[in-house]
Amino acid sequence: MQSHIPSGKIAFIDEILATKANESFRVTGHLASFEASKDVATITSTESKGKLLIRTNLLEDFPFKIGALFQFIGEFNVKNKALRARVARNVDGMDTKLYAEAIKLCRKHGRLPM
Contact stretch for another protein (CB under 8 A) within 29-37, 39-47, 49-57, 81-89: 81-89
One-letter identity of residue 15: E
Residue from 38, 65, 81, 111 touching another protein (CB under 8 A): that is 111
Q: Of the candidates 71, 63, 68, 65, which has an alpha carbon nearest to the alpha carbon of residue 12? A: 71
| Smallest distance from another protein to CB 95, Å | 5
37 binds another protein (CB under 8 A): no
Residue closer to another protein (CB basis): 7 or 57 = 7
Name which of residues 47 to 66 contact another protein (CB under 8 A): none
| Concatenated DSSP letters of the chain | ---SSPP-EE--HHHHHH-SS--EEEEEEEEEEEETTTTEEEEE-SS-SS-EEEE-TT--S----TT-EEEEEEEEETTTTEEEEEEEEE-TT--HHHHHHHHHHHHHTTSS--
Q: Tell me if 93 contacts another protein by CB under 8 A.
A: yes
What residues make contact with another protein under the rule CB under 8 A? 1-3, 5-10, 26, 71, 73, 86-89, 91, 93-95, 98-99, 102-103, 105-106, 109, 111-113
